[in-house]
């Protein structure tokens, strides 16, 4: 895949830049909540700005992989936004020409799946501990 040349040059944001910008946006939001508080006016304006920036970033990433920019509206559908986010992080530039993920894309999908499985395990374990009356912090189960 590294040596392939695509018919078209796709504009937009590549995979690593998309990930880096998303992480920076997340750290900005966390910093603003910790410094200004969730009820402050500054945080509310910043949250609006970050939301608009997230939509623009998703559209630019969809252009880069060659998909329709209308798929951006999936981010407002419950659970579909999560899958869209994983897809945008995993797909390489020009994904529409091959419609296959490269090796790095499969690794990214695998890591997301492992994290999701870990969270489901923790959720089920805490439910089982509640049912059997064990303290939540106990990891004896």
Q: Is residue 27 part of a domain?
A: yes
Q: Is 91 exposed, middle or buried (0-12, 13-18, 19+ CB in 10 A)?
A: buried
- Tokens representing 44 are 């509310």
31 in a domain, yes or no? yes
Does this model's pTM top 0.85? My answer is: no
The span from the CA of 62 to the CA of 87, in Å, is 10
d(CA 3, CA 1): 6
Q: Is residue 124 part of a domain?
A: no
What long-range pairs does 36-39 form, CB within 8 A, spacing at least 24? none
pLDDT digits (tens, 9 = 90+) for 98-140: 999 999 999 999 999 999 999 999 888 877 777 777 666 555 4
**pLDDT value, residue 4:** 55
Q: Which domain holds residue 38?
A: 15-101
d(CA 88, CA 74) in angstroms, rounded, equals 12
Please report whether residue 24 resides in a domain.
yes
Which pair of structure tokens corresponds to residue 22?
Answer: 């998303």
pLDDT in tens, 10-52: 889 999 999 999 999 999 999 999 999 999 999 999 999 999 9
Q: What is the pLDDT of residue 141?
A: 46
Average pLDDT, the chain: 88
Name the domain count of the chain: 1
38 half-sphere exposure, CB direction, 13 A CA radius: 1
Give a yes or no: residue 108 inside a domain. Answer: no
Whether 70 is covered by a domain: the verdict is yes
User: Tell me, what's the pLDDT at 40?
Assistant: 94
- What pLDDT does residue 139 have? 54
For residue 116, give the 3-state DSSP assignment: helix
- Whole-number percent of the chain with pLDDT over 70: 88
Examine residue 135 and state whether it is found in any structural domain, yes or no.
Answer: no
Tell me whether residue 30 is in a domain. Answer: yes
- What does the pLDDT look like over 41-64, one tens digit per residue? 999 999 999 999 999 999 999 999
Helix (H, G, I), strand (E, B) or coil at 114: helix
Please give the pLDDT value at position 1. Answer: 47
């Amino acid at each position: 895949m590294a040596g392939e040349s695509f018919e078209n040059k796709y504009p937009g944001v590549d995979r690593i830049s998309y990930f880096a910008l998303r992480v920076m946006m997340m750290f900005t939001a966390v910093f603003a909540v910790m410094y200004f508080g969730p009820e402050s006016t500054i945080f509310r304006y910043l949250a609006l700005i970050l939301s608009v920036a997230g939509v623009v970033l998703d559209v630019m990433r969809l252009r880069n992989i060659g998909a329709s920019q209308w798929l951006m509206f999936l981010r407002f559908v419950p659970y579909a936004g999560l899958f869209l986010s994983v897809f945008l992080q995993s797909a390489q530039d020009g994904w529409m020409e091959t419609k296959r993920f490269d090796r790095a894309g499969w690794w990214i999908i695998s890591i997301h799946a492992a994290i999701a499985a870990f969270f489901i395990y923790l959720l089920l374990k805490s439910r089982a501990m509640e049912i059997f009356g064990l303290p939540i912090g106990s990891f004896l189960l």
